[in-house]
Amino acid sequence: METYWTSFDTAETPVIQTDILVIGSGAAGLQTAWSLAEAGREVLVVARDELQDSNTAKAQGGIAAALGQDDDPTLHYQDTLVAGAGLTDESMARIVVTEGPDAVLDLLHHGARFDKNPDGTLALGREGCHSRNRIVHANGDSTGAEVSRALRAIAGEEKRIATLEHCYVTDLLVREGRCQGAMALHKGRTVRLAANGVVLATGGVGRLFAHTTNPEGATGSGLALACRAGAELMDMEFVQFHPTALAIPGRPSFLVSEAVRGAGALLYNTRGERFMPGYHPMKELAPRDVVARAIATEMKKCGSDHVWLDATGIEKVEEKFPMIFRTLLDYGVDMGKERIPIAPAAHYMMGGIRTDGWGRTTVKGLYACGEAACTGLQGANRLASNSLLEGLVFGRRAARALCQDIPENRPAEPEGSWKAELAPWTVSSREQAADRQQLQELMSRQLGIARDRDDLEQALETMDGLARKYEGRAAENPDQLDLKAQLLVSRLIARAALQREESRGAHYRLDFPEPRDCWKHHSIEENEGGTIHVQQNVG
């Protein structure tokens, strides 16, 4: 495996120096930066596009936190374990459900405009697999956008936080086992980012699939950076498919929040039959993996490319879900009067860069948090609305670890030099686009909701062939870098999925349809001398 994907010589490259480099501007990245600034640290936040472009900004449902009078962290903890299908790290779950309420209230007190009841208390909704109403939301169904806005406003007022947009980090610089910064393309120009500590908060991998709720930047680039730098990755086989994404040919896979089902929406197949009561006692509010598989089964049974989500029975639906209502109306669907055609779409990566409870990876000086990281909190299937919460909690904790591990606040000295010389990129943009489409269709078809050995082995063979075409070639722009990241991370997912011979949570094997106690553990992937190894029986 290549260590570097671009050609560069740091002796001839402009240098930007900072104390802590945060890569990514979603909830996890901005929370980390905010907490570091409050502790007196100088931070540079870089975003591949603009600061507001992140998975956070797209999140609809809300943030789960035990803030209701009938709720407590223990109940939230138990629900998290149920959703995680036996693979949730219990210590991580306790951290998040215990520290989560304070993180949410801290954001509220610093300007986040969450929805409230007439008496001034927080309005709390309910989503799948939650035993209580505990979903904090904003503008009904625009929670992520509000969290993103509030954090950007806080960061904008912090003199210790600098930001750099349109900055694509290409390679991490590691020497003697310690990360010392990164190389990046800033508006097409190669720059060196020298830092004492680096935080990866780059989001998920939805764009590996043909149908996804994720934005364009969710190509797994941060996971690819970490892997090439020698960091371990964990639970890469667990990719969550959101059950209810808009399914109209020619339209994007727009997410229809789980909160809509929490408010009473029902699922019907194209024969007009309500089907979820036959799959799970919690019906439409069953865990996401259960609902997604049920929908896929009904689509196959009926020979259709969608099922129906009926929200017509929700009173004042246009007020409760204004953004979803307006967007669907633009697509020609009035959710207050007619059923919505939906199908599952790639949504969230439970796996990622392996970290401890403080964001530390297995490479010194390199930290990760949010969807890019994997603490074991999400297990085999994330509980709804635990993602924004995870980003806030572990962003705060990563900042504390950085202050402890790197006590001196000073711009990093660009010590040492790095040089990489790769062959020119020779593949045309048209061929690149075709290869990317082939990869996405392959991932959706053979690494989607249902998998088996033959499909996984065939997929890996095809992916390896595609990857060889680009190996040793110097990427020169974001499209080329994205394709290389997609090829690497897809193979990481496929290898882990092939190894796990059972069905658990979001990982469903047709040839091993039941969970097996011998597989009740995490899987670890690491780069050893350019070869990826999957470890088994890791507790």
Gyration radius of the chain's alpha carbons: 22
Helix axes 90-109, 143-157, angle to 10 degrees: 70
The Cα 229–Cα 237 span in angstroms is 21
Round to whole Å and give the CA distance between 354 and 373: 6
**Do 197 and 410 touch, CB atoms closer than 8 A?**
no
Taking CA 224 as the corner, what is the angle to CA 218 and CA 226, rounded to the nearest 5 degrees? 120
Phi, psi of 162 (to 5 degrees): -105, 150
State how far the Cα of 81 lies from the Cα of 89, in Å rounded to an integer.
Answer: 8
Q: Where does 351-477 have alpha helices with state H?
A: 386-405, 429-446, 453-470
Angstrom CA distances, 142 to 170, 222, 261, 334, 383, stand at 32, 26, 16, 19, 19
- Token pair 């919690």 is found at 282
Q: How many angstroms separate the CA atoms of 216 and 488, rounded? A: 17
Annotation marks residue 288 as catalytic: yes
* CA gap 202, 205 in Å, rounded: 10
Q: Quick one: CA dihedral 483, 488, 490, 491, positive or negative?
A: positive
Q: Residue 507: left if φ>0, alpha if ψ -120 to 50, beta else—which one?
A: beta
State the Cα–Cα distance between residues 102 and 393, nearest whole angstrom. Answer: 9
Asked if residue 115 lies in contact with residue 60, where contact means CB atoms within 8 angstroms, the answer is no
Task: Single out the residue of 146, 14, 86, 184 nearest to residue 514, CA to CA.
Answer: 86
Residue in this structure with the two tokens 């990876």, named with its chain if needed: 361
E strands present in 304-399:
307-310, 340-349, 352-354, 366-368, 373-374
Structure tokens at 110: 């610093």
Q: Phi, psi (5° rounding) for residue 299?
A: -65, -45
Report whether 375 contacts 9 (CB < 8 A): no
Three-state secondary structure readout of 234-293: ECCCCEEEEEEEECCCCCCCCECCHHHHHCCCEEECCCCCECHHHCCCCHHHCCHHHHHH
Count the neighbouring beta carbons within 10 Å of the beta carbon of residue 459.
23
Which one of 149, 160, 261, 288 is the catalytic residue?
A: 288
Q: Catalytic residues, which ones?
A: 288
